[in-house]
Amino acid sequence: MANLDTSEQPRRTSKKRWQNRKRLGFKVDMTPYVDVIMLLMTFFIMTSTLNQPQVMQINLPKDTATVKIPMDNVVYIRVTDNGLIGVSSGKEESEAPPVKVGFNELKNYIEALGQEKNDMVMILKFDKKGKYSYMVDVIDEINRADVEKRYSFSKMDEKDMKIIESIKN
């Protein structure tokens, strides 16, 4: 592990006596330390736990039968490609005109609708050209709202785009 080097340095006659002493070298063999470090690293890797992937729980219907929901309980949330949010609630056999709502106001607006409608179901429609962060922000605001969280995703079509155009003006 450690060796003692006994080689002498050449003596000079003109220097002081304490400088002319024989110098001893000391060498340390690092090979066993590498083995210990590898064993420690292997121990910590094997005993550490890695982060578990986070999964969102999705409740799917048990059978293929369609569920009838009264239009009074349906709330449509449409988000355009530039982040404009239009929220409209259903009436009997139709839909109310949409209301322009900002990201900051969405939570309070959904809570107010949830107090009016006991069995509220939200249908979320996002433009394909929109940013992914808009969808995440809307879902976060829904999750922060103090309402029963029942929502479904639906495809945004031309009819929805025309409805959103009515609140842009």
Query: Domain boundaries in the chain?
Result: 2-46, 71-168
Print pLDDT tens along the chain (169 aa): 556 555 555 555 555 666 666 667 778 888 889 999 999 999 988 888 777 777 777 776 677 767 777 788 888 999 988 888 999 887 766 778 888 988 889 999 999 888 888 788 888 999 888 888 888 888 898 888 888 888 888 888 888 888 888 876 6
Rounded (5°) CA angle 139-141-146: 115
What does the H/E/C string look like for the chain?
CEEEECCCCCCCCCCCHHHHCCCCEEEECCHHHHHHHHHHHHHHHHHCCCCCCCCCCCCCCCCCCCCCCCHHHEEEEEECCCCCEEEEEEECCEECCCEEECHHHHHHHHHHHHHHCCCCEEEEEECCCCCHHHHHHHHHHHHHCCCCCCEEEEECCHHHHHHHHHHHC
The matching CATH number, chosen from 3.30.450, 3.40.50, 3.30.420, 3.30.1490, for 71-168 is 3.30.420
**Among 76, 72, 78, 87, CA closest to 119:** 72
Find out whether 93 and 117 touch, Cβ atoms under 8 Å. no
**Among 88, 112, 108, CA closest to 98:** 88
pLDDT of residue 41: 93
Report the predicted TM-score, pTM, of the whole model to 2 decimal places: 0.60
